[in-house]
């Protein structure tokens, strides 16, 4: 037997799904009369009744039920083949929130690398100064500073952090060099709120008599402190991961060999449950490898 016209089969498949000629007509952008006519033509060619006409809607006959399954599968296979061969890959979005300093000093310079590795993923990056929880489902991945003890997700430490003392090149001679105690008498010290105690820890850890009182400027992020120091001179204690590009470019100098172990660290945090999608996992693996490359 010759295969039925594909238009009749489409009308049959939609009607079988909805148990209604009217609903099938709405889906196919036809009139109910047109769908009914196509079903009658199909039934005539096959020589069987596919639907029982009811006072309200229609119902598949036994043979209609048996025929609906392979017809539906044929359309599904056709759709899958078309998408597999001709459809453009659908781009996926991963929403990343990060501390403003980490985003600007670690992530942003490497984003081109991520795009090259994962061209199918669009990153949506937002920043915060401090965050300890996910808010209103606005993030797939967070990069937070702390101790990994957040209760709202799964935390993975990115690296054991160390901090170093860095300064503007013009301040390097004034501070001295080697392992002698730095002279801060004429140097502005840039401090990040929440990290003021690191100066005392540095002094005690390396047995250096750093002054208790310093001429300071304070900022709510390392990013602001670094930009101010590059423009106006001075010194600060800065995470190695934040300082690396500035040291390589010569904008900052590390005149001493101090490496202060930090109690906190940057953690990659993902929500519990269904939000841990494969594309978010791809970003997470890449971010975890940043410090080893």
Provide the CATH topology of domain 6-86: Arc Repressor Mutant, subunit A (1.10.10)
Q: How confident is the model at residue 92 (pLDDT cuts 50, 70, 90)?
A: confident
Strand partners, 213: none
270 or 177: whose pLDDT is higher?
Answer: 270
The secondary structure of 47-100 as a DSSP string is TS--EEE-SSSEEE-HHHHHHHHHHHHHHHHHHHHHHHHHSPPPPEEEEEEEEH
d(CA 178, CA 195) in angstroms, rounded, equals: 24
User: What are the backbone dihedrals phi and psi of residue 292, each rounded to the nearest 5 degrees, phi first?
Assistant: -100, 0
pTM, full prediction:
0.64
Q: Give the per-residue pLDDT at 240.
A: 93
2-15 pLDDT tens trace: 889 999 999 999 99
Q: Give the per-residue pLDDT at 284.
A: 86
- Name every residue whose Cβ is closer than 8 Å to that of residue 72 and which is 6 or more positions away in sequence: 13, 16, 17
Q: Give the per-residue pLDDT at 35.
A: 94
Q: Give the per-residue pLDDT at 207.
A: 75
Classify 162-261 by CATH class. alpha beta
Beta carbons within 10 angstroms of residue 288's beta carbon: 14
276 or 158: whose pLDDT is higher?
Answer: 158
Beta carbons within 10 angstroms of residue 207's beta carbon: 8
Q: Give the per-residue pLDDT at 293.
A: 60
260-271 pLDDT tens trace: 999 899 999 988
Provide the CATH topology of domain 92-160+265-292: D-Maltodextrin-Binding Protein; domain 2 (3.40.190)
d(CA 122, CA 165) in angstroms, rounded, equals: 36
Q: Give the per-residue pLDDT at 185.
A: 66
Percentage of the chain surpassing pLDDT 90?
45
126-138 pLDDT tens trace: 998 887 788 766 7
Q: How confident is the model at residue 180 (pLDDT cuts 50, 70, 90)?
A: low
Asked whether the domain spanning 162-261 has the same topology as the one spanning 92-160+265-292, the reply is yes
What's the mean per-residue pLDDT of the chain? 86
Instruction: Decide if 51 contacts 58 (C-beta within 8 A).
Output: yes
Q: How confident is the model at residue 215 (pLDDT cuts 50, 70, 90)?
A: low
Closest C-alpha among 246, 239, 245, 241 to residue 262: 239
d(CA 82, CA 73) in angstroms, rounded, equals: 14
Average pLDDT over residues 93-102: 91
CA angle 42, 44, 45 (to 5 degrees): 65
Instruction: Decide if 129 contacts 220 (C-beta within 8 A).
Output: yes
Q: Give the per-residue pLDDT at 2.
A: 85
Beta carbons within 10 angstroms of residue 170's beta carbon: 11
pLDDT score of 251 more than 60 = yes
Q: Give the per-residue pLDDT at 179.
A: 47
pLDDT score of 252 more than 50 = yes
Q: For the chain, which residues make up each domain, given as ranges?
A: 6-86, 92-160+265-292, 162-261
32-83 pLDDT tens trace: 999 999 999 999 999 999 999 988 889 999 999 999 999 999 998 898 888 7
pLDDT score of 276 more than 60 = no
């Amino acid at each position: 037997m010759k295969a039925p016209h594909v238009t009749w089969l489409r009308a049959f498949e939609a009607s079988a799904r909805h148990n209604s000629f009217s609903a099938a007509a709405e889906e196919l952008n036809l009139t109910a009369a047109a769908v009914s006519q196509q079903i009658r033509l199909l039934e005539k060619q096959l020589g069987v009744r596919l639907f029982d006409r009811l006072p309200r809607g229609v119902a598949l006959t036994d043979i209609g039920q048996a025929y609906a399954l392979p017809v539906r599968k044929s359309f599904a296979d056709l759709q899958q083949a078309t998408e597999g061969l001709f459809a453009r890959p659908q781009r996926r979005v991963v929403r990343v929130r990060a501390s403003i300093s980490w985003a600007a000093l670690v992530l942003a310079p490497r984003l081109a690398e991520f795009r090259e590795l994962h061209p199918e993923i669009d990153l949506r990056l937002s920043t915060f100064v401090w965050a300890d929880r996910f808010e209103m489902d606005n993030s797939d991945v967070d990069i937070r500073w702390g101790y990994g003890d957040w209760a709202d997700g799964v935390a993975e430490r990115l690296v054991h952090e160390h901090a170093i003392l860095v300064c503007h090149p013009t301040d390097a001679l004034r501070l001295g060099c080697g392992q002698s105690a730095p002279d801060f008498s004429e140097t502005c010290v840039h401090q990040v709120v929440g990290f003021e105690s690191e100066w005392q820890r540095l002094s005690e850890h390396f047995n250096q008599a750093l002054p208790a009182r310093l001429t300071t400027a304070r900022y709510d992020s390392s990013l602001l402190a670094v930009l101010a120091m590059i423009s106006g001179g001075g010194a600060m204690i800065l995470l190695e991961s934040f300082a690396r590009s500035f040291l390589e470019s010569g904008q900052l100098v590390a005149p001493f060999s101090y490496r202060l172990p930090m109690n906190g660290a940057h953690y990659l945090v993902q929500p519990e449950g269904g939000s841990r999608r494969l594309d978010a996992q791809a970003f997470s693996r890449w971010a975890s490898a940043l410090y080893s490359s």
